[in-house]
């Protein structure tokens, strides 16, 4: 039974990543053909990383996947801040935010591991 649940979780991850990749391809195709402005692509491309993090968060079935989703969201937020130079945090000044994102993911994974229901074999879900 646990193999079936794991398989469903892996399929959901594949679905999320497949949709993200299709979306990226369609947006770039539209931008290259003049339907979307190219300047908008440069400023907003990190939204694809954030969307992947949200999708991973929704499909998380274990503390490890939850921590990974939070890290992806954090990296997406860092990329958005750096790409748009928000708060005067461009690429050369914002790199510590990548460490913050990794730390947040690790912290969430550890906290989720404490409260996540355990399986019959004693392992965390």
The structure tokens listed for 51 are 């969307």
The structure tokens listed for 16 are 């999320």
Domain boundaries, the chain: 2-114
Model pLDDT, residue 94: 92
Q: Cα–chain-centroid distance for residue 10?
A: 15
8 Å CB contact between 55 and 19? yes
8 Å CB contact between 90 and 52? no
Q: Which residue has the tokens 């708060």?
A: 87
Q: Which residue has the tokens 């790409």?
A: 83
Model pLDDT, residue 1: 44
pLDDT tens by residue, the chain, 125 residues: 445 555 555 666 677 778 878 887 888 788 888 887 877 777 888 988 898 899 889 888 899 999 999 999 999 999 999 989 999 998 899 999 999 999 999 999 999 999 988 766 555 55
Q: Could you tell me the pTM of the whole model?
A: 0.72
């Amino acid at each position: 039974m646990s193999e079936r649940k794991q398989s469903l979780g892996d399929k959901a991850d594949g679905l999320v990543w497949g949709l993200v990749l299709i979306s990226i391809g369609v947006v770039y195709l539209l931008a290259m053909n003049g339907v979307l402005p190219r300047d908008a692509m440069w400023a907003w491309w990190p939204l694809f990383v954030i969307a992947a993090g949200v999708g991973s968060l929704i499909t998380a079935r274990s503390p490890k996947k939850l921590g990974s989703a939070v890290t992806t969201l954090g990296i997406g937020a860092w990329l958005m801040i750096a790409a748009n130079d928000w708060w005067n945090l461009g690429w050369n000044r914002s790199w510590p935010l990548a460490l913050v994102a990794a730390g947040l993911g690790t912290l969430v994974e550890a906290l989720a591991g404490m409260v996540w229901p355990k399986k019959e074999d004693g392992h965390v879900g």
